[in-house]
Amino acid sequence: MSRHLAATSNEAIGKSCPAELDPERIPAHVAVIMDGNGRWAQARGLPRVMGHRAGVEALKATLRLCSDWGVKALTAYAFSTENWSRPGDEVNFLMALFERVLQRELQALEAEQVRIRFLGDLQALPEKLQGLIAEATERTAANQGIHFNVCTNYGGRRELVRAAQQLATRAAEGLLDPATIDENTLAAELFTAGEQDPDLLIRTSGERRISNFLLWQLAYAEIHVTEVFWPDFNRQALLEALLDYQSRNRRFGGVDALGADALGS
Ligand code: IPE
Ligand code: IPE
Ligand code: MG
């Protein structure tokens, strides 16, 4: 009873998960493909880049909600290795936006105990952004709160190629016996090393594809696609995604208890 009351009052101040959710089955790791910024802006007669600006607010709100509701890691797709093919003005706007947001938000991230990391080929990013990324990573490295991974110049295939190269180099140097390479050895070479695989993948804007995101890590993630454009992704949309997740029967290739009973085992 008192536990229930405590949960209710926590929810009243917005710091625990909504009553509709089972607090025991909150996904530990949520990955999100933040899509639809351009269409959100175009629907309002605004330039596409205004959608990216609005998308930052949605990301901040999502990070806070995930942290409050007990999600341990949030991995967001901010810029893919393929996004360089967009018009130069849009790419430049995005890089400048990443810099501004990092400068503006670093103190709050520190205060809220967020541990931020950037996953991807960071050397190809503008130097100023690289500096800000290094500073943010370092200043939040010891934080005990939610892990916030921002995939920037990230591509799943490139990540796997890089891992293969690193392993091959070690093997060629005689430091690694190829026969000992297993799934853990490979996973340890990925940008996500040390992070458990995502339980839930959310993609906004109705697109039903992976777009080169976390190809290895999403092997058994539950996929939730919403029609909502990313800048409109809010508490209600996140709640729907988590309710959808909690309605799933995760089998990981096995059979559930019901299926085993039906076979008389
Ligand atoms: C996602 O929104 C943000 C990035 C890829 C940087 P989009 O810019 O892809 O928006 P749409 O899909 O064109 O509407
Ligand atoms: C995926 O969205 C990349 C990010 C959200 C950063 P895109 O808009 O680039 O993907 P496609 O082109 O629809 O596959
Ligand atoms: Mg898109």
CA distance 75 to 239: 17
Q: Does 100 map to a domain?
A: yes
Q: 3-state DSSP call for residue 207?
A: coil
**Residue to mutate (ligand 2; options 32, 33, 34, 35; most atoms within 8 A of CB):** 35
50: CATH: 3.40.1180.10
Ligand 1, CB cutoff 6 Å, lining residues: 34-39, 79, 83, 94, 205
146-173 confidence digits (pLDDT tens): 999 999 999 999 999 999 999 999 999 9
Count how many domains the chain has: 1
Tell me, yes or no, whether 96 lies in a domain: yes
Asked if residue 11 belongs to a domain, the reply is no
Q: Is the residue at 163 inside a domain?
A: no
pTM: predicted TM-score of the whole model, two decimal places: 0.94
Q: Looking at residue 150, what DSSP letter applies?
A: E
Closest CA relative to residue 18, chosen from 54, 61, 70: 70
Q: Does some domain include residue 149?
A: yes
Q: Give CA–CA dist 36/248, Å, rounded.
A: 26
Are the beta carbons of 215 and 23 closer than 8 angstroms?
Answer: no
**Model confidence over 13-51: pLDDT tens digits?**
667 899 999 999 999 999 999 999 999 999 999 999 999
Q: Is 7 among the domain residues?
A: no
Instruction: Spell out the residues 6+ positions from residue 250 whose beta carbon is closer than 8 angstroms to its own.
Output: 220, 222
Residue 154 phi, psi (nearest 5):
-105, 140
Decide if 59 is inside a domain.
yes
- Residue 129's domain comprises 26-155+197-244
Instruction: Write the single-letter amino acid at 211.
Output: S
Q: If you measure from the C-alpha of residue 150 to the centroid of ligand 1, how many angstroms do you get, rounded to a whole number? A: 15
Q: 12 alpha carbon to ligand 1 midpoint, in Å? A: 34
Q: How far is the CA of 207 from the centre of ligand 2 (A)?
A: 9
In-domain check, residue 109: yes
Q: How many residues does the chain have?
A: 265
Active site residue 244: no
